[in-house]
Amino acid sequence: GQNIDQPTEMTATEGAIVQINCTYQTSGFNGLFWYQQHAGEAPTFLSYNVLDGLEEKGRFSSFLSRSKGYSYLLLKELQMKDSASYLCAVREYDYKLSFGAGTTVTVRA
Amino acid sequence: DAGVIQSPRHEVTEMGQEVTLRCKPISGHDYLFWYRQTMMRGLELLIYFNNNVPIDDSGMPEDRFSAKMPNASFSTLKIQPSEPRDSAVYFCASSLGLAGGLYNEQFFGPGTRLTVL
């Protein structure tokens, strides 16, 4: 089973940086995903980590520490369009994804 | 590619009625997932298929729910009889298998918003 924790809400100013933390407990780790979900829309893939370290994709970066059961998503140079829910999801060896409750990020002008 | 296609996009029905949700995965994807999303419970996996075979249905809430995948390009999720607590957004997602892309990420359809009165 899974226990995935992430903050419920975060607010930041346009142009700033926000870090969304995710902690998890799992019996069989096979990768961690971050998805973005705008209100009323489907989740879309942002990033993937399976080894420890930092993965960078443009303004978004994701970090993983498997020994600590910890990941974060870093959003840089925030834009208004980044206002959305960000979902942390852990994949186990049976290929299932378990999602956290999501962090709603509000970007203010 | 058109992405994952779901129909209908919105469904309003009365308690006790049968509801059928449909999904067409991305061509070539051999995994298909059905999720339910509510404010209270978030995004929950209901069932998933590999090569049209159900692998894990432990997330299906009760016998009122059933899912089929008769071929690689079509799946259905049926609720019979429906209840007000089934009101949610139902997403279908698909992905490549382990021999596929770098991340094997899941691609989500637009969802079906179900309201049971």
Closest alpha carbon to B89 in B66, B112, B115: B112
A22 vs A2: CA distance, rounded Å? 12
Q: What is the C-alpha to C-alpha distance for residues A49 and A34, in angstroms, rounded to an integer?
A: 9
Nearest CA in chain B to A102: B42
| Chain A residues inside the 8 Å CB shell of B105 | 33, 45, 48
- Position with higher pLDDT, B93 vs B103: B93
Is A42 near chain B, with CB under 8 Å? Answer: yes
Q: Look at residue B37 in the predicted model and tell me its pLDDT.
A: 97
Mean pLDDT of A88-104: 90
At B104, is the pLDDT very low, low, confident or very high (cuts 50, 70, 90)? Answer: confident
Q: Which residue on chain A is closest to B95 by alpha carbon? A: A95
B55: which 2 tokens?
A: 């692998």
